[in-house]
Amino acid sequence: MQTENSGFKTVRNSRTTITELMIPSYANFGGKIHGGILLGLMDKVAYVCAAKHAGTYCVTASIDNVDFLQPIEVGELVSLKASVNYVGSTSLIVGIRITSENVKTQAIKHTNTSYFTMVAKDENHQSIKVPGLILETKDEVRRFADALRRKELKKQNHTVLKQIKSPLEMDNYKQLLKNERCVIDIIL
């Protein structure tokens, strides 16, 4: 018998981990790992996790809060753990936790936690509905609710940020920037 929730999937069904060795070609001039390398790995693990849940091709719609908390060294093992935290209609949010391990000392540091919003697409590139989510643990319930709250805050933020796009009079800019480390030196 078909129930309203048939076709829903568990979080564990699409949970994904990628571990990658940080090789010298990933490093910047300071000898630390490039942020772009991590972003690429995050996009990859988010895609795998989202596509497993959606059962179809997905695109990245947005990424929230990429804060690089600690540098990563060449030779460390970086692990990216991804799981579906939230599903909407055609979108889902994948939470990614990144840790880096020094293989000699076994010291593990947390370097990032980020949230990727992915949208499921059909073969004609039309957005399609994703399966609902079965929450089996208290942490999964908390993550779903947190994602919902972050989504609401993001919506409010968008409305506020739109105001920044409306240009001000030059006098207002001068007032706003008067204690900043810049000089206005416009040649007319």
Ligand X SMILES: CC(C)(COP(=O)(O)OP(=O)(O)OC[C@H]1O[C@@H](n2cnc3c(N)ncnc32)[C@H](O)[C@@H]1OP(=O)(O)O)[C@@H](O)C(=O)NCCC(=O)NCCS
Binding site for ligand X (CB under 6 A): 59-62, 88-91, 117, 119, 127
CB of 161 to ligand X, least distance (A): 12
CB of 6 to ligand X, least distance (A): 20
CB of 186 to ligand X, least distance (A): 34
If the CB atoms of residues 13 and 60 are measured against ligand X, the closer one turns out to be 60
One DSSP character per residue, 92-155 reads: EEEEEEEEEE-TTT--EEEEEEEEEEEEEB-TTS-B-PPPPEE--SHHHHHHHHHHHHHHHHHH
Amino acid (1-letter code) at residue 94: V
If the CB atoms of residues 37 and 72 are measured against ligand X, the closer one turns out to be 37
**Which residue's Cβ has the minimum distance to ligand X?**
88
If the CB atoms of residues 20 and 64 are measured against ligand X, the closer one turns out to be 64
CB of 89 to ligand X, least distance (A): 3
* Spatial separation of the C-alpha atoms in residues 45 and 113, rounded to whole Å: 13
If the CB atoms of residues 83 and 91 are measured against ligand X, the closer one turns out to be 91
